[in-house]
Structure 1
């Protein structure tokens, strides 16, 4: 059975996570999709960064949502890279693969919905995207604002809760940590109409196990292992 090979934060094992270099590397490795995280910065733009602060991945310190885009752009990620905007990532990807946007920061639902509506006007299709989140409020908000957006419910702890949320918000997919999956719960979810995109699967034995369960997509730091 075929499944989607999805690069985690680009190709995180090969280039600094969530940078344009990392996304380009994932594309070079032939991914079917890329996954990354967005926050809204103080000036309203959607920026691609995992943490709520810039401390771990950049030369600076502070909270993403309190900083203007110009301040964020002035920072260095591992000496030679910069924080990307969602605009820049979409320009780079240019429909070469599916895009999984994780709403990481708070209050990201409306700007993400507006951003996608704008791309649809430019000729994109909602099939080009999955919008995922761990955050109930963001999933609920975007499902109300734009029912056309294909949602993925992220979970690290409970397949049951994710399934409940998926039903409530008419999600397309459930994105469980791979440790939660069994052959039977994957099959049950698929029989109920959900896609299963699992993360972050790096170890070859775990990758083989996920493939044997018939998941719909695997998110990995090492896309070439998929």
Structure 2
């Protein structure tokens, strides 16, 4: 309880009732499923995240040799699949995703293990570790919505693009494929389907697609200093949010937690509150539990101070009013949210 009171005093002046509201608003999303437990961007990982109690899961889609989409994060496949599997299954083909069709990639298993574990043997893995399609991933979500009686379970679709990987498709074709997958499942008006990308052009294409007009769309940002500099004053933050979100028919902003703290603490710009007042939810990436301190060391030169524990980090941002956090470790995030909520309710009483 003392921790909560201290956080309320140091982060913002709010009542316990307001704290309850902020905590309840914070969705916990399994980043690439549940990579803290293994099976990154697999049906196994998505199911694991939901079974642990996540409010939804995030996935990545990348274009293939035949211009289709496959669920996976890396354009270089060695980390996720391992050289041994690729060399044995497709000798001489190389390790770039663009060298494989969607059907070929679906025969491969994600062998990258949970942190600190040995690489899995692809020959012993179940089909749940295959590289899935977007459609299969959406179907898993829908199955869980019904089984868990939670129609609000979310799927966060991130579109990965790379300049020298776009000769097999186009931004418009990617938009059409995502649209087709959602339309087939009657999800074009579902507010719990979120689409995002770091690629500003990709999001512009998504934003003007009339069939996706009712789907919440997110700009991923804060991966470079030039973007962060747009938030060093309140008026600049408002200008950025209006220009890059509202004026582009986007609805949300998804940003990295480290520069977010820099803006909040070092520059004293309450950009999360400003965004909320403008009707723009702020989402944060990525909470990585054992490695959380290393994230802050990457911006130590700017004077960004980290946290003493992962729980302190989670509490700090939840009480700032972020609408969603992406986490590799669903359980700690859920436990922290529950703890904060219980403490706030006690204080309110």
Q: TM-score if structure 2 supplies the norm length?
A: 0.60
Residue 317 (structure 2) aligned to one of 206, 210, 220: 210
Q: Does 1:129 align with 2:193?
A: yes
CA distance in 2, matches of 1:126, 1:82: 27
Bigger Cα Rg? 2
Deviations 1:127-186 (A, max 9, x none): 121111111110111112235132111112325387332134221110000112227110
Match of residue 254 from structure 2: 175
Runs of 4+ in 1 over 6 A off after TM superposition: none
Deviations 1:81-112 (A, max 9, x none): 22111111111111622111001125455334
Residue pairs, 1:29-40, within 5 angstroms: 29-40=52-63
CA distance in 2, matches of 1:208, 1:109: 40
Q: Relative to structure 1, is the Cα distance of residues 22 and 118 closer, same or farther in structure 2, using a 3 angstrom cutoff?
A: closer
CA distance in 1, matches of 2:281, 2:176: 21
Residue 137 (structure 2) aligned to one of 76, 89, 107: 89
Is the Cα contact below 8 Å between 2:134 and 2:181 reproduced in 1? no
RMSD of the alignment, in Å?
A: 2.1
Residue pairs, 1:22-171, within 5 angstroms: 22-59=45-82, 60=86, 61-78=94-111, 79=122, 80=125, 81-94=129-142, 96=145, 97-106=153-162, 107-108=170-171, 110-120=173-183, 122-124=185-187, 125-146=189-210, 148=213, 149-155=215-221, 156-157=223-224, 158-159=227-228, 160=230, 163=241, 164-171=243-250
Aligned length: 226
Point out where structure 2 has 5 or more consecutive residues left out of the alignment.
1-21, 87-93, 112-121, 146-152, 163-169, 232-239, 289-309, 334-349
Is the Cα contact below 8 Å between 1:110 and 1:142 reproduced in 2? no
CA distance in 2, matches of 1:118, 1:127: 15
Point out where structure 1 has 5 or more consecutive residues left out of the alignment.
none
Residue 9 (structure 1) aligned to one of 2, 21, 32: 32
Is the Cα contact below 8 Å between 1:13 and 1:221 reproduced in 2? yes
Shift of residue 121, structure 1, vs aligned partner? 5.2
CA distance in 2, matches of 1:209, 1:109: 39
CA distance in 1, matches of 2:207, 2:190: 13
